[in-house]
A and B are shown apart, each in its own frame.
Chain A
Amino acid sequence: MAAIKLMATIYRVAGRGAASLLLYPIAAYFYLGRPPVVEASLDYLRSLRAWSGGAVPPSEPQRRDAFHHIHSFATNLFERMVAWGGGAASFTFEYSGDDHLRRVVESGAGAILLGAHIGSFDMARILAESNRVPINVLMFTDHAERITSFFERLDPASKVRVLRLDPTTAQTGFAIKACLERGELVAILADRVPPGSREQVAEVDFLGRPARFPLSPYFLACTLGCPLLTSMCVRTGDSTYHTAVDVLTEGEQVPRASREARARDLLTQYVATLERYCRDHPYQWFNFYRYWG
């Protein structure tokens, strides 16, 4: 936290270029001080390389690649902070598939938007806000209201709300249903199983190794019959971000008997999307823990 405050101060006083230089010592701190982070990074990069047949990364991952990976994460956090601080105008945002989102918003049907800890989901939020539709971010947190008010302080017109994921009651499902009925978006980062959750998970091959993913987002979409979209936002160059929206399903109520098969099928499509992003943007996968268990 001290590092973030220092960086914010330098950013205000000396500008973005100076502040971004600090990203090197910050990345070095994690690189030297947190061996599990480096291990997780190398584990991921090796899996990616094996899965891609040696194409990405093009040579056997070394510790310097882990440093590059961590630095890329630090850059991401820093630029997110700049964007929050009202600096969004200094970035270029490019979009593809945003017509899908616009169509869903205009139909008033609401939609579930699946993201991941890839690139900057937060930048994708700007896309939703530009459509002037509330976006409800499902989070496993006890601080939902505080996070919501944080966004409201940054921007009084903020349409971001945090929905608390409570695995112990049926309430989360009803809250999601109500958001969709108001024609809003519900965003879920679907690449992690929340700790301690009792929700149904499925094991699917990700980069050639079995990994656990939540099934609830797909069950929700099949039960409520709402559209299910993926939304991934990656950094494609200096101060440039690209958000791509893809349709997994336009929304159909799936009969119970075939629902689990359909949910697994949608999950497989989501994981294939993750793999594609890892291949194209190898250093923007931001899960720095033992992902494969």
Chain B
Amino acid sequence: MEAPDTIEADIKTLIVDALALEDIEPPAIETDAPLFVEGLGLDSIDALELAVVLEENYGVKIDDDPERNQVIFASVRNLAEFVRQNRAK
């Protein structure tokens, strides 16, 4: 059984690595802060890239359901929750 925090920490590292966010240390990303527009200010290509990286790393499948994606991508906490429930690896 993984510690519940690990996926959050891993996702923060994925975000920083995948999106090459310079000057940001993964732990500095707030678990509950919005990722897009406000917060880290990521744009739609960033969201797509993050989706591709999450799919590769965890074997999850991210569809084009707008309401669901809005929830999934709202924060690191929600991303982690989604991964926990849907991961295939």
Contact = CB atoms under 8 A, between A and B. Distances in A.
Nearest to A257: B20
B66 A171 contact: yes
Nearest to B68: A174
A220 interface: yes
B73 interface: yes
B18 A170 contact: no
Contacts of B36: 170
B20 A173 contact: no
Interface of B is mostly: helix
Interface residues of B, number: 20
Contact of A170 (B19, B20, B44, B63): B44
B6 to A, nearest CB: 25
B9 interface: no
Given A170-B69, A171-B66, A174-B69, A256 B20 contact: yes
Contacts of A177: 48, 51-52, 62, 64
A98 B46 CA distance: 32
A68 B47 CA distance: 46
Interface string A183-214: 00000000000000011100000000000000
B48 A169 contact: no
26 contacts: A169-B44, A170-B48, A171-B44, A171-B64, A172-B44, A173-B44, A173-B45, A173-B47, A174-B48, A174-B62, A174-B63, A177-B48, A177-B64, A198-B43, A199-B43, A216-B45, A219-B45, A220-B45, A220-B48, A223-B45, A223-B52, A224-B48, A224-B52, A253-B52, A256-B18, A256-B20
Interface of A: 169-175, 177-178, 198-200, 216, 219-220, 223-224, 253, 256-257
